[in-house]
Chain A
Amino acid sequence: MVARVLAEDELIAQARRGDAAAYAGLVRRHQEVAFRTAMLITGHAQDAEEAAQDGFVKAWRALPRFREGEPLRPWLLTIVANEARNRRRAAGRREHLALRAAAQLPAAGETAPAHDRDALAAALGRLREEDRVVIGCRYLLDLSEAETAAALGVARGTVKSRLSRALARLREEVRDD
């Protein structure tokens, strides 16, 4: 038997036929970005985990409505991010997200010292959710504009303007620090 990694569209087709293991394979591919997106929104690891789990279960039920050939990730992110927003609203929290930079060795030629990275991460965590999510999606999670729009639940055209406003506020936050 020759093992091979199934392409995403094959997994989608199998999942649509009711194959839970194939769907779990899809979840595994996208769980990190989904969890981190939910983290940016809820600010709580446990809420993010629950949002991701519920979102993926909802997406499974909605799979018959998923249009074949469309990219899966933005579709999943829309559902998970929506769950995350519901949870944050239900919890009624508006907390700052405690973000820390990961310990890392400075890359060759890198000039930004560790404390600058920490300050930047902390400033990002102090932004209001809308700003934090748009910046986080674009720069930290490296999502495309379309994927960011899906995570924010807004039209694609709105992402650019939101991002530029959020960056301006982050700049102020870093300066005030």
Chain B
Amino acid sequence: MTELEQALAGLELAWPDTPDVAAAVEARLTTTPARRSRRTRNAWLAVAVAVLAGAAASPARSALLDLLGLRGARVERREPPPHPTATPGRRGEGLRLGRPVTLAQARTAAGFPLTLPASLGAPDAVWLERTPPTRVSLVYDRRPGIPRSPHTGAAVLVTQFRARATPVLEKALGAGAVVKPLDVPHARVYRITGKPHGFAWITPDGTVGFEDRRLAGTTLLVERDDGILLRAEGELTRGRALALARALAAR
């Protein structure tokens, strides 16, 4: 053994404290059965698809509520179904964001003041989903320092609508997603990373939906005190994510 190797072998590093991974893993496993039956999964998918298709009739909705644990039912994390991908053409095309509109049209139709983060400049495309809850999506094509996301084909995609996500957030994420709360005033902000994931939301009138669209990169979920839920997707570093979260949280 050389002197260098001896020095290395005797080197004690100041490692960060090892987190309690076992407890976190066990908590995730108790809501993620190792072997989920195909029947259960299919039933769950059927519910999510029914809701997404706008057929949020009460039986489907109550089944979803049950699955989300809002009626005390057992909650399962699930793998979201394959998500749509961007297609060539207008930015945001193929992502099922509704119809392309002008910013002025979106402002009129939204029914709430839109939030446009100044740091991103003017959006390159604006989409409007009129099927309730009305959702507005802003597509930012290229922005310095932010790579185009393979999932959206754009640098950043911001969707906003009137809903909240907190009561069901942790419960409806896909297995393998990692949720970290960010400390931002006037809002509850979560940074979601990891495997493709989805989340559920509830509108003020009680409509429950499940978002499972292309959520495979980094997603910021900003639930503002004024009842607006904003979702930003993009390959954002932690620092940029925090800055954007602050901008989205400020009205």
Instruction: Identify the closest chain B residue to A142 (Cβ).
Output: B9
Minimum distance in angstroms from A12 CB to a CB of chain B: 13
- Complex Cα distance, B32 from A87, in Å, reads 22
Write out, one digit per residue, whether chain A residues 21-48 have a CB within 8 A of any chain B CB (1) or not (0).
Answer: 1011101100110111001000001101
| Complex interface residues of chain A between 107 and 153 (CB less than 8 A to chain B) | 107, 110, 112, 116-117, 120-121, 124, 135, 139-140
Task: State whether A140 touches B22 (Cβ < 8 A).
Answer: no
Task: State whether B19 touches A27 (Cβ < 8 A).
Answer: no
Task: State whether A101 touches B14 (Cβ < 8 A).
Answer: yes
Minimum distance in angstroms from A58 CB to a CB of chain B: 7
B175 within 8 Å of A (CB atoms): yes
B10 proximity list for chain A (CB < 8 A): 107, 110, 112
The one of B5, B7, B25 that contacts A23, using a Cβ cutoff of 8 Å:
B25
Instruction: Identify the closest chain B residue to A139 (Cβ).
Output: B8
- Complex Cα distance, B22 from A34, in Å, reads 11
Would A139 and B178 be within 8 Å (CB), given that A24-B25, A171-B4 are in contact? no
A167 proximity list for chain B (CB < 8 A): 2, 4-5
A54 within 8 Å of B (CB atoms): yes
Task: State whether B19 touches A121 (Cβ < 8 A).
Answer: no
Write out, one digit per residue, whether chain B residues 60-97 have a CB within 8 A of any chain A CB (1) or not (0).
Answer: 00000000000000000000000000000000000000
Task: State whether A120 touches B11 (Cβ < 8 A).
Answer: yes
Q: How many A-B residue pairs have CB under 8 A?
A: 122
| Complex interface residues of chain A between 72 and 117 (CB less than 8 A to chain B) | 87, 90-93, 99-104, 107, 110, 112, 116-117
A61 within 8 Å of B (CB atoms): yes
Minimum distance in angstroms from B217 CB to a CB of chain A: 8
B16 proximity list for chain A (CB < 8 A): 39, 45, 48
Would A112 and B21 be within 8 Å (CB), given that A18-B35, A57-B28, A57-B175 are in contact? no
Minimum distance in angstroms from A112 CB to a CB of chain B: 6
Task: State whether A101 touches B12 (Cβ < 8 A).
Answer: yes
Task: State whether B34 touches A18 (Cβ < 8 A).
Answer: yes
Minimum distance in angstroms from A113 CB to a CB of chain B: 11
B205 within 8 Å of A (CB atoms): no
Task: State whether B15 touches A20 (Cβ < 8 A).
Answer: no
Apart from A56-B21, A93-B237, A139-B5: 12 A-B pairs, beta carbons within 8 A: A24-B23, A27-B21, A31-B19, A31-B22, A60-B34, A91-B237, A101-B12, A101-B13, A112-B7, A116-B7, A135-B8, A167-B5
